[in-house]
Amino acid sequence: MPAYLDSILVAHRAAAAADGRDVAAAVEAARAHVASPTGAPATGAPRDFVAALVGGRADRGMAVISEIKRRSPSKGDLDPDLDPALVAAEYEAGGASCLSVLTDEAFFGGCRADLEAARAACGLPVLRKDFTVSALDVCDARIMGADAVLLIVAALDDAELASLSDLARALGLAALVEVHDELELERALAVGADLVGVNQRDLRTFEVDRERALRMGERMPEGVVAVAESGIRDAADVSRLADAGYSAVLVGEALVRSADRTSAVDGLLGAAT
């Protein structure tokens, strides 16, 4: 099986090493503003990602983080010509609580402009879905207008995980800390993670284990907002995950491929209500 995560991380760490920007200056710039819809600096606080998930869970039995993704390394093209603004509006109309937007270009066909356009087109908090490996990645997430950043435990050592979590908090960003097993969950909790995603997809092989989230749900401590990710196909999957204690699901491929994305989001929520 191809080691997808390894090749992706090599590329992202090389880009981080070649980035000559001053970290302290980038942090100050990120504190000062988020990106406006036109890309120009504009003051303003991030939208509350965690509160939106908790509210969605209370209102409809489950919150949905709907993903905007053009392609993936394992599936190839999903919808390479999608309009991120239109898709964001469709997701919001269907009852999504938050958005996830891929900004990785080389492997997923995304970009910063996709996130900016999607956020400007709706009122939902937005996760920058990317492979965060440096402080500059976190700063860029806020500057482009993201309200949350993804930290993949399997991609970071303990020192990186702690420092990037702290930086996200300092910049007012939620950190969705992604785990795959019990050891990674322990590492996430050790840095104070209160928003934990369980990815059912093995990022090295991209194979999906649809029982993983159910097993890991039993390990979640009280007070942690748990998100199930990957391999979620329909309302029956959502219902099982709601029963297992998850507050939210992150759904990409099933929604992106849908002919009626608004109805697809609403349909996922119907079973959990």
Active site residue 178: yes
Residue located via tokens 């937007």 = 101
Active site residue 90: no
Active site residue 100: no
Cα–Cα distance for residue pair 249/265, rounded to 1 Å:
11
Cα–Cα distance for residue pair 199/208, rounded to 1 Å:
9
| Residue of 129, 134, 184, 253 with catalytic role | 129
Cα–Cα distance for residue pair 18/12, rounded to 1 Å:
10
Cα–Cα distance for residue pair 47/17, rounded to 1 Å:
30
| Residue of 69, 97, 116, 247 with catalytic role | 69
Cα–Cα distance for residue pair 113/154, rounded to 1 Å:
27
| Residue of 90, 116, 229, 253 with catalytic role | 229
Question: Which structure tokens are listed for 110?
Answer: 């995304």
Active site residue 182: no
Active site residue 75: no
Active site residue 105: no
Secondary structure of 1-34 in the HEC alphabet?
CCCHHHHHHHHHHHHHHHCCCCHHHHHHHHHHCE
Listed residue (234, 239, 229, 184) closest to 208, CA to CA:
229
Secondary structure of 58-77 in the HEC alphabet?
HHHCCEEEEEECCEECCCEE
Listed residue (215, 213, 222, 221) closest to 248, CA to CA:
213
| Residue of 97, 100, 165, 230 with catalytic role | 230
Cα–Cα distance for residue pair 267/28, rounded to 1 Å:
43
| Residue of 90, 92, 116, 178 with catalytic role | 178
Cα–Cα distance for residue pair 210/112, rounded to 1 Å:
31
Active-site residues: which are they? 67, 69, 129, 178, 199, 229-230
